[in-house]
Amino acid sequence: MVIVMAVDATDEDITAVVNVVSSAGGRAFVSRGLNRTIIGLVGDVDLFDSLNLVALPGVADVMRISAPYKLVSREHHPERSTVRVGGVSIGPETVTLIAGPCAVETPAQTLEAALMARAAGATLLRGGAYKPRTSPYAFQGLGVDGLRILADVRDKTGLPIVTEVVDAADVPVVAEYADMLQVGTRNMQNFPLLQAVGDARRPVMLKRGMSATIEEWLMAAEYIAQRGNLEIVLCERGIRTFETSTRNTLDIAAVPVAQRLSHLPVIVDPSHSGGRRDLVLPLARAAIAAGADGIIVDVHPHPETALCDGPQALVDEDVPRLAEAVSVMAAAVGRPVTGVPALAVS
């Protein structure tokens, strides 16, 4: 941390800052300039945060110069991580395709969507049984019934399941069925939920909050990691801006930025970013080209009757185009598309 003193700070002010830091066990280094003095701190940043140094007389500003997250940071873990979900890898060596319906509606619809996903080259199945919806009058998901449908479709297709959990109290039941727990954009700072998935023995996909900075996103991941669960995949899904022609603005630079700051894998959701079927393939290509470790895509056998987010789902005729887009782009960045796990094949 660096403390910038005000132009009119007195020697007493400077001494007082040094004393507060010292008495808290830290070390302070004073640099006097012609107009201002700055004080560098060495020690426990969290402790310094709690000292509320900015409130001391003569202090103009306090600047943090190291990342506030530790476990998910690449500083002490330079190698990028690979997360395994039911035998399927998500990490720097490959490009993983996750696909499925936004919401689980019926067994038939879910199975059809899963077969579309598999035909497109997906090795993980997404699908929501608990849906966070802006309106209390909208379809809220099938709950446990939806989880059972997903498990059944997993048995039939061999695709491990990624599904959302929206309440800390539901984590045990969702973890019983799911291979990977998804924390959605509206819950990125639902801290009890983060702690609960941190306690679960399941990998977690953490979507970026729609107005979260990359630093806040990594802090949310730190909440999960701090409970002992480092099997976390970050998912960029678009941020909220003034632009209205797309549902959200895909922050494509978040992929290389987050990968540089954190060792965790980073994937992209081109469906929810744009909110439009016609943008899914261009955004999917861009994501892989930017270095994403995977993408997660909505597919639906009958989007015109979908209970959730139909306008953005890919349809049957898009499946071969998605498969081609993923394989061509993965080849262009020199990474194979993640295959079916050996165990599942046997």
3-state secondary structure at position 146: helix
Residue 157: CB minimum distance to its own copies, A = 25
Q: Is residue 165 within 8 Å of 174, Cβ to Cβ?
A: yes
Question: How many CA atoms lie within 13 Å of 330's alpha carbon, on the beta-carbon side?
Answer: 21
Check binding of 156 to its own copies (CB under 8 A). no
- The rounded distance, in Å, linking the Cα atoms of 36 and 7 is 5
The binder of its own copies chosen from 135, 155, 201, 317 (CB under 8 A): 135
94 binds its own copies (CB under 8 A): no
Q: How many other CB atoms are found less than 10 A from the CB of residue 250? A: 24
Nearer to its own copies, 82 or 140 (CB): 140
Give the residue with the Cβ less far from its own copies, 98 or 326. 326
- Which tokens in the block code for residue 172? 């045990």
Q: Which of residues 106-125 bind its own copies (CB under 8 A)?
A: none
| Nearer CB in complex with its own copies: 88/230 | 230
Q: Which is nearer to its own copies, 10 or 66 (CB)?
A: 66
The helix (run of H) or strand (run of E) holding residue 89 is strand 88-90
| CA separation for the pair 108, 112 (Å, rounded) | 6
Choosing from 13, 111, 152, 167, the residue that interacts with its own copies (CB under 8 A) is 167
Residue 12 binds its own copies (CB under 8 A):
no
| Residue in 77, 148, 285, 321 binding its own copies, rule: CB under 8 A | 285
Instruction: Pick the closer one to its own copies by CB: 178 or 194.
Output: 194
Q: How far apart are CA 177 and CA 200, in angstroms?
A: 12
Q: Work out how close the CB of 189 gets to its own copies at its nearest, in angstroms, rounded to a whole number.
A: 4
Which of these segments, 79-87, 130-138, 175-183, 335-343, binds its own copies (CB under 8 A)?
Answer: 130-138
- Touching its own copies, residues 22-81 (CB under 8 A): 27, 29-36, 38, 40-42, 46, 49-52, 54-56, 60-61, 63, 65-66, 68-69, 75
Handedness of CA 264, 220, 204, 153 (dihedral sign): negative
Residue 40 Cβ, how far from its own copies at the closest point, in Å? 4
Sign of the torsion formed by the C-alpha atoms of 276, 280, 282 and 288: positive
One character per residue 226-265, x = contact with its own copies (rule: CB under 8 A): x------------xxxxxxxx--xxxxxxxxx--x-----
Question: Taking the complex as a whole, how short is the minimal distance between the CB of residue 112 and its own copies, in angstroms?
Answer: 16
For its own copies, which residue of 10, 93, 172, 333 counts as binding (CB under 8 A)?
A: 333
| Residue 142: Cβ-neighbour burial (10 angstroms; 0-12, 13-18, 19+) | buried
CB of 83 to its own copies, least distance (A): 20
Q: Does 189 bind its own copies (CB under 8 A)?
A: yes
CB of 331 to its own copies, least distance (A): 7
Sorted by sequence, the CB contacts under 8 Å of residue 204 that are 6+ apart come out as 180, 181, 182, 183, 197, 198, 224, 229, 231, 232, 233
**What's the per-residue H, E or C state across 176-218?**
HHCCEEEECHHHCCCHHHHHHHHHCCCCEEEECCCCCCHHHHH
Minimum distance between the CB of residue 158 and its own copies, rounded to whole angstroms? Answer: 30
